[in-house]
Amino acid sequence: MKRVLRRAADRIRVGSAGSAPAERCDELAAIAGPDPEPRTPGVCEDCTALGEHNWAHLRMCLTCGHVGCCDSSPHRHATAHFEQTGHPVMRSHEPGETWRWCYRHAEMG
């Protein structure tokens, strides 16, 4: 009985933040420091290795500075980098854009 009440209280507290899921994103909060230096500024590292240059937009991994192309690009190297390495947070590498994205929680921050 006591346990049920405590769980209900937790739900009320979580609910006050809106309809967000109970599991919040720790990665975006953890990566608050200065960005790493991009390994290949202005170009997709993996497209360059393939000899290609036809990506749409670039994203940078905030764990290691890997620069990869976005999901609108033919090769989607930024997503491939997350799948290969598990590095969860990237940011836009486009001029004037500062948004960040956690792949693990599909959350912007």
Which chain residues interact with Zn ion by CB under 5 A?
A: 25, 27, 44, 46-47, 61, 63-64, 66, 69, 75, 77, 87, 102, 104-105
- Nearest approach in angstroms of CB 33 to Zn ion is 15
Pairwise CA distance, residues 79 & 98, whole Å: 18
CA–CA dist 84, 25 (Å, integer): 20
Tokens of 51: 């000899």
Q: Closest separation between CB of residue 81 and Zn ion, Å?
A: 6
The residue (of 4 and 18) whose beta carbon lies closer to Zn ion is 18
**Minimum distance, C-beta of residue 50 to Zn ion, in the bound complex (Å):** 8
Residues 38/65, Cβ–Cβ less than 8 Å: yes
